[in-house]
Amino acid sequence: MTSPVLFEELLVKNGQLIGVITLNSEKTLNALTLEMIDLMLEQLQQWNSNDKIAAVFIQGAGEKSFCAGGDVQALYHSSIEQPGGPCEYAETFFEREYRLDYLLHNYTKPTIAWGHGIVMGGGLGVFAGCSYRIATEKTRIAMPEVTIALFPDVGGSYFLNKMPGYCGRFLALTGASINAADSYYVDITNYTICHASKNKVIDELLSLDCPATDIDNKLTSIFSYHHNLSISDIPEGNLQTHQALINDLCQWDDIEKIAFKFSELNTDDKWLQRAKNGIATGSPLAIKWIFHQLALCENLELKEVFQHEISLATTIIRHTEFAEGVRALLIDKDQNPNWQYKKLHDVTDDIIAPFFEAPWQQNPLTDL
């Protein structure tokens, strides 16, 4: 069988190597399994201590997706097989996934993510952790966890809080999809390059003839050149255009007021209509814990954020709401989840509080 993750070492003109990681599960849009995460963790750790490796390039197989997220169906089965937990597979998955993302954020060598096609959920965690994050004209980014009663994790509690105005809160509560121009505006992406230029970019990377100390300058020069060439071919975004409206909708400290503002929104803009529908039909429980999680992590360092995320992910996976969301969206596909609470005001602070209590004596990410 072909490995779900492929690794190559390509020779650079200066005698060093570029490590290439290809997420190789095209049929599942390169969704991450625990096996894939473990393979990547081990290889990245090896390359990090290999002086011959100058940089790492991460891509997805096929033309549709960089990575569509985690293998949610496997998490679903872990949740329903061990109701109330511990949900061994799911909890191990989250721990290893967050370790992978944290390693990428702190990698000692340049990491390059070619984010063509779908970049969602766990895929965005990998993408956001890289030092050079390239989106293309076909990039579609989202954190749609509100639709399955999860929350924007994989560092989302960190990078969503860094976005301009209330863009991060808007994206978390609505699950709205954004493109390359949007992701560049909110600094999830730092270069937008046409996908047709990919092979040329790789050829230029392999033609580098400079000492390791100068590689970042050379990479910046290569990506900036192709970014400037591609600007006219990248579709316009929505976030910057609607920034004032997003701020007006999401600036409130009361999540119920935010939901009410969305309910009053009258627009012909289809992107805004989908965002309005996202918060209207998402799990009221999830909306409450997403709002609280973002506030809790607003000023925290990345390590602390991942420690909070693993705690919340664990309490959620042991609860029935997540399984119901996945059932309705991905298993039975009836698009009709039977949420435990029908209205936001039914979800009181007393109901939300237990989700933010540590589910074990010691946080598994204490040693990050």
Looking at the annotation, which residues are catalytic? 70, 122, 145, 153
Structure tokens at 191: 């270069």
Pair 97, 36: CB distance under 8 Å: no
Q: Please give the angle made by the CA atoms of 213, 216 and 222, to the nearest 5 degrees.
A: 135
Structure tokens at 18: 């570029």
Beta strand 191-192 with 17-23 is unpaired
Distance of CA 33 to the CA centre of its chain: 15
Helix (H) or strand (E) holding 291: helix 284-296
Which single residue is written with the structure tokens 């990681």? Answer: 21
Q: Is 46 helix (H, G, I), strand (E, B) or coil?
A: helix
Q: How far is the C-alpha of 96 from the C-alpha of 78, rounded, in Å? A: 16
Contacts 24+ apart (CB under 8 A), 156-161: 156/124, 156/125, 156/309, 157/293, 157/294, 157/296, 157/297, 157/300, 157/305, 157/308, 157/309, 158/297, 158/300, 158/302, 158/305, 159/128, 159/188, 160/294, 161/294, 161/297, 161/298
Structure tokens at 58: 């991460």
Cβ atoms within 10 Å, residue 349 = 8
> How far are the Cα atoms of 21, 52, 104, 187 from residue 109, in angstroms, in the given order?
14, 11, 9, 20
Pair 164, 183: CB distance under 8 Å: no
Pair 61, 45: CB distance under 8 Å: no
